[in-house]
Homo-oligomer: A and B are copies of this chain.
């Protein structure tokens, strides 16, 4: 039955880190202590206010479908969030609640990308982006980025790499895996350049809020004609709830609505009621406390990785990742990651999962473990490097 597999699946790779994760589990079952720095998921529990709201929703027992676009109250609350945090007015009709940022990206590309068209994106970047493009028979045009552009696309790179069949450009800031944040002016110019080329601009803002320097600018501050993908997973600490949102340009409201009806029916009802509680003052304080903890971890890990000899040529200012160059120790970072796991029980993600731009020299550390655990990991890492 092999021949019945759709052609698109040839290009859709697994996450290489899964191989490491599986091995890590085996080792744990054998009694080994594994320090997980590979996982893109905050180690904090879902905030109490959010849990409480979900429990109240469940007590009432009526967990019925919501409208495809989401609970009106939640769409309004998200609009309020844009008003409070970015000083922009977004009509709630442009906001669609989705099953995670994955659902938001699926909708954004589904309504805009034709088969054969290309999407510009940075290499390295989050691997699913390319796979969403492949799903719709499009093609990703990768632009190798470096510390020079803070590992981000910019107007000049977009102009240089744009081709006739390009449909749009994706910018993710803070970036996974590099943790770098695009400057507000650079973002603005990138949007203008993309719009001038009559392309769609997709802004992946799922790590917004998790920044340790300047606040991150939203694409919506500069244009209404952009797609913005966001999520309750990372900053709001709601990974397993699978809830995010899409802000679409006005002309796309109707197609996004139609596609959402068909693809999802709706997002989980209790996740939506839970997410509503995310914006309470009580929860906002809790999230700020967590953000400060992540900032400490970033400083701790950054300084210690430099000390050990890793090269980090652009200090990460957001998300919870450090993309470290390990070329002083290895030219095969996947093998490096596998050996590190076997001999020291420290799990990290190989560059291979994020593209082909010198990926063999990079590994991604997630600081989703406590400082104590990371201190232990760094000791093990030091021992590993001195083998």
Interface residues of A in 265-297 (CB under 8 A from B): 265-271
Q: Do the beta carbons of B64 and A240 come within 8 Å of each other?
A: yes
Assess the A65–B46 pair: CB atoms within 8 A.
Answer: no
A347 CB to nearest chain B CB (Å): 15
Minimal beta-carbon separation of A222 from chain B (angstroms): 15
Interface residues of A in 9-57 (CB under 8 A from B): 9, 12-15, 18, 41, 45-46, 48, 51, 54-55
Contact, CB under 8 Å: B251 / A1:
yes
Instruction: Select A262's contact among B54, B131, B240, beta carbons within 8 Å.
Output: B131
Does chain B have a CB within 8 A of A159? no
Max chain B Cβ within 10 angstroms of own Cβ: one of A5, A198, A257, A265: A265
How many Å lie between the Cα of A135 and that of B260 in the bound state?
A: 12
**Docked pose: A33 CA to B99 CA in angstroms:** 33
A61 near B41 with CB under 8 A, answer: no
| CB closest residue in chain B, given A199 | B4
**Residue numbers in B under 8 Å from A112 (CB-CB):** 4-6
Bound-state Cα–Cα, A12 to B261, Å = 10
- The answer to whether A7 touches B263, judged by C-beta atoms less than 8 angstroms apart, is no
Chain B nearest Cβ from A18, distance in angstroms: 7
Q: Which of A99, A239, A257 has the most CB of B within 10 A?
A: A99
Flag if A12 contacts B262 (CB, 8 Å).
Answer: yes
Nearest CB of chain B from residue A100's CB, rounded to whole Å: 6
Known: A102-B265, A242-B269. 18 other contacts (CB 8 A): A2-B251, A6-B110, A8-B114, A12-B258, A14-B254, A15-B261, A18-B261, A45-B61, A64-B240, A65-B240, A102-B263, A106-B263, A115-B137, A135-B263, A136-B137, A242-B264, A242-B266, A268-B268
7 pairs of residues in contact across A and B, judged by CB atoms under 8 Å: A4-B200, A9-B259, A41-B64, A100-B265, A127-B262, A242-B264, A242-B269
